[in-house]
Amino acid sequence: MDRQTPTQITAAGLDGWYGTLSDPDKVRLGRYLDSDASSAESFLLGVMAGAQEDHNFRLAVTAGAYALTLDLDDMETFRVREAYIDGLAAAGMYDEAKAQCELNLDLFPSVRDRILAENGGKLPAGIMCRNRLIDILVGVDHDYDAADAALDAFVEIGAMDPEELSYRKQSLKIHKMQRAFDNIFIGKKERSPSRPPWGSRRSPAPRRGAPTGRRLSPPPGAPA
């Protein structure tokens, strides 16, 4: 079905991208046409933010992938990729999310001063390339050694304050121990069958009058 290109899309210079979208994605995109159309980057960032909030993660990923093809400076690239990483992680695209995290961490030293200037001299809490990488390494890969090494790297490039390092590492240790205990508990439950281990099926009910092989309690007054 042909759809007229919304004026906001044209204003943002995204007619070509809009033409590549499926009809369902065009319908979803209609929810975010009030995004800032002063540039393609700002419009797509608005789309990603709105789609993420509405759990339209695939649309956020689609918008982010295209946004990264635009002619962007380092700070613009960092911002777009941060939003893209969040969408990828939410969509369960963990390998691509990790790859994008690594690219933004490589870029971080060149944009750090500007990030600090925009946040009153402090590192913001929501640095996605840092946060989502740890989330995936711990929560998906269960690779605590890689997560521990990543924390050291964050401090080295200035993406995490040194004062946080011991606290974050201790949190990792606690999480690892808790997971080990959980695995032991789950293993015990799996090794405790609800029926005898020598038979997974219930024996058929005996025919009426047939011996059951079980010792029954004698009626009252009968000899034991």
pLDDT in tens, 11-58: 999 999 999 999 999 999 999 999 999 999 999 999 999 999 999 999
pLDDT at 223: 40
Answer left, alpha or beta for residue 92, where phi above 0 means left and psi between -120 and 50 means alpha.
left
Q: Give, in order, the Cα–Cα distances in Å from 205 to each of 150, 194, 208, 217.
A: 61, 19, 9, 19
The pLDDT value given to residue 196: 40
pLDDT bin (cut points 50, 70, 90) of residue 72 is very high
Under the banding of pLDDT at 50, 70 and 90, the label for residue 88 is very high
Q: Distances in Å between the alpha carbon of 3 and those of 6, 24, 60?
A: 9, 11, 21
pLDDT-derived band of residue 179, with 50, 70 and 90 as boundaries? confident
